Amino acid sequence: MACKRGALIVLEGVDRAGKTTQCTKLVEALQDGGRAAHMMRFPDRLTTIGQLISSYLENKSDLEDHSVHLLFSANRWELVPLMKKKLEEGTTLIVDRYAFSGVAFTSAKPGFSINWCKAPDVGLPKPDLVLFLQLNPSAAAQRGQFGSERYETSSFQQRVEGRFEELMADTTVNWQVIDASQSIDEVHENIKRLSMNALTAAEDRPIGELWK
Ligand code: NYM
Ligand code: MG
């Protein structure tokens, strides 16, 4: 008998919303509950493509804007075989950023439409749940200074937030908005509850294709 598949759960949001902290806590909670869970993050800076992206983000190299957008997408596609294998084995994937960050960040640059940005990611494994950790810019600013990576300025992050809002209007994706200004534990409880529902719903459904 085939085992039930895992769920694909993505956390999105602007920088400093708490995605990485919450992904880690969610994986721990699922594993403590006896479920197979695995954390991934995009960009995955460890692959050959990921190293090009990492150098770009650290301002150690310059890449043309369209070109780097396609590299971010290629970095997701190169991990699709692994993602599918894990999901089919019954492992739930908790993913720190996905195609939505890809579209939101590139389309925050001048001259990029949302539709152009979505195209290379059409057909990726579709998340069963996308949790958007929403934090207003002033609350984010209180969480400390931005780092020195590319895109880490408040004016750019404002534009990214606006693009995320546009993406969230798409009802073919299961978006859930989380108030990320709450305490770490409160945010975690909300995320856990929504994730448990998604896990159950995913069991009897094939893995979908994003934006198709
Ligand atoms: N980013 C992330 C993109 O511009 N496109 C993408 O497709 C993805 C997945 O890279 N500022 C941006 C968002 C972040 C940065 O940061 C990665 P971090 O802290 O490693 O998540
Ligand atoms: Mg970050």
**Nearest C-alpha to atom 19 of ligand 1 is from which residue?**
15
**Closest listed ligand to the CA of 49:** 1
| pLDDT score for 15 | 85
Closest ligand 1 atom to the C-alpha of 150?
Answer: 11
- Partner residues linked to 125 by β-bridges: 209
Q: Is 85 exposed, middle or buried (0-12, 13-18, 19+ CB in 10 A)?
A: exposed
| pLDDT score for 210 | 98
| pLDDT score for 96 | 98
Q: State the average pLDDT over residues 142-149.
A: 82
Closest ligand 1 atom to the C-alpha of 43?
Answer: 9
The CA-CA-CA angle for residues 163, 159, 133, to 5°, reads 60
Half-sphere exposure of 51 (CA within 13 A, CB side): 3
| pLDDT score for 147 | 82
Comparing 17-31, 43-57, 87-101, 136-150, which segment has the lowest mean pLDDT? 136-150
| pLDDT score for 2 | 59
Per DSSP, 3 falls in state: P
Closest ligand 1 atom to the C-alpha of 15?
Answer: 11
pLDDT averaged over every residue in the chain? 95
Confidence of residue 1 (pLDDT cuts 50, 70, 90): very low
**Alpha-carbon gap, residue 130 to 88, rounded angstroms:** 19
**Ligand 1 neighbourhood includes 75 CB (under 6 angstroms):** no
Ligand 2 centroid vs 15 CA: distance in angstroms? 5
| pTM of the shown model | 0.97
Cβ-based neighbours of 30, under 8 Å, separated by 6 or more: 36, 37, 92, 94, 195
**Ligand 1 neighbourhood includes 151 CB (under 6 angstroms):** yes
